[in-house]
């Protein structure tokens, strides 16, 4: 079980700091805030950046996949032009979503992989660098919006580790953001099965599941786990096929690639994600653990639709 020392920091833009700590088992989501001293971790923020959400944690050796969720209410309108992930060793990934419910209260709590809001606005994996939006594109967080940051943590080492996971932002003015963006992950979920050896698996998604109007993709990323080696993402439009990406994959370097010019997708389009794996062990199925597998094309696009952040189906 996670050590009882987990903390959340909400910088001045999101109200006063809250100090909290770990408690409860993996996947708990009982609405009870956590309360104990934070780990001793450097709290400095680089010049030009602002902390949006973050959580301090300590994991004992061999700690398996563990989830904590940070909740916050936005106190004023904010415009965002860049993200920087806080992803020290022990952070598998982070998912930042808009969360519509008034409860639980702001703070940090044990949760599960499925504890997320509907619309995803940012995410990071192992090795993710800064993400800077193209000119004119970004995010607008409105006063009263609720945010939920899901932290997926694990410790495969023989020693206890501590860290601070979260998200930093660079703010923009209202005039700099003409197009509001969001993210959707498209690919197979519970039907995914990765056999031993080399294989390519696929899943398709109808863009109409995301939007009823054209959307403009300005950035793409990929998400698989340790046995993933290559991804190809293809749009089918009538008899025409359009390759969005055809790229090698490295679990230790998960990045977004800007698309220039932006690619317009129509509601009638169909996106198929092909994931290639080199699996030396037994068969793997879809799962959140890095020892399971996933297969997602990550689409960053505008205008935001408030879409569910997964688009899946065979």
Provide the whole-model pTM.
0.80
CB 232 within 8 A of CB 245: yes
Question: Are 194 and 174 members of one domain?
Answer: no
Question: Are 167 and 251 members of one domain?
Answer: no
CA distance 157 to 314: 37
In a domain, 217, yes or no: yes
**pLDDT band of 296, cuts 50, 70, 90:** very high
Question: Are 12 and 143 members of one domain?
Answer: yes
Residue with tokens 């793409």: 220
pLDDT digits (tens, 9 = 90+) for 153-198: 999 899 999 988 889 999 999 999 999 999 999 999 989 999 999 9
For residue 29, is pLDDT > 60?
no
Question: Are 154 and 103 members of one domain?
Answer: yes
CATH number at residue 153: 2.60.120
In a domain, 1, yes or no: no
pLDDT digits (tens, 9 = 90+) for 246-262: 999 998 887 889 999 99
Full residue range of the structural domain in which residue 23 is found = 7-179
Question: Are 22 and 36 members of one domain?
Answer: yes
Give the chain's domain count.
Answer: 2
**pLDDT band of 40, cuts 50, 70, 90:** low
Residue with tokens 């990934």: 93
CA distance 117 to 91: 20
| Mean pLDDT estimate for the chain | 85
CB 182 within 8 A of CB 120: yes
Q: What DSSP state is assigned to residue 40?
A: -
For residue 223, is pLDDT > 70?
yes
**pLDDT band of 19, cuts 50, 70, 90:** very low
Contacts for 57 with CB less than 8 Å, ≥ 6 apart: 2, 3, 5, 6, 7, 22, 39, 68, 90, 151, 153, 162, 163, 164, 165
């Amino acid at each position: 079980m996670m050590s009882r020392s987990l903390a959340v920091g909400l910088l001045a833009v999101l109200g006063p700091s809250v100090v909290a700590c770990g408690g409860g088992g993996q996947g708990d989501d009982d609405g009870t805030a956590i309360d104990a001293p934070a780990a001793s971790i450097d709290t400095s923020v680089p010049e030009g950046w602002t902390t949006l959400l973050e959580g301090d944690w300590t994991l004992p050796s061999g700690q398996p996949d563990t989830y904590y969720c940070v909740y916050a209410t936005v106190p004023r309108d904010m415009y965002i032009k860049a993200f920087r992930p806080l992803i020290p060793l022990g952070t598998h990934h982070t998912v930042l979503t808009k969360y519509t419910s008034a409860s639980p209260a702001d703070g940090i709590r044990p949760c599960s992989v499925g504890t997320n809001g509907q619309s995803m606005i940012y995410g990071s994996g192992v090795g993710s660098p800064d993400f800077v939006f193209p000119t004119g594109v970004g995010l607008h967080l409105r006063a009263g919006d609720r945010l939920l940051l899901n932290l997926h943590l694990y410790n495969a080492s023989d020693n206890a580790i501590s860290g601070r996971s979260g998200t930093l932002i660079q703010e923009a003015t209202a005039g700099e953001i003409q197009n509001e963006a969001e993210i959707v992950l498209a690919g197979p979920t519970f039907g995914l099965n990765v056999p031993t050896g080399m294989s390519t698996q696929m899943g398709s998604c109808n863009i109409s599941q995301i939007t009823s109007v054209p959307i403009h993709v300005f950035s793409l990323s990929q998400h698989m786990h340790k046995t993933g080696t290559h991804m190809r993402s293809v749009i089918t439009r009538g008899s025409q096929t359009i390759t969005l990406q055809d790229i090698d994959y490295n679990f230790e370097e998960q990045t977004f690639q800007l698309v220039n010019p932006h690619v317009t997708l129509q509601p009638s389009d169909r996106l198929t994600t092909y994931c290639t794996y080199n699996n030396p062990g037994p068969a793997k199925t879809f799962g959140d653990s890095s020892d399971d597998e996933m297969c997602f094309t990550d689409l960053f696009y505008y205008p935001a639709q408030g879409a569910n952040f997964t688009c899946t189906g065979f």
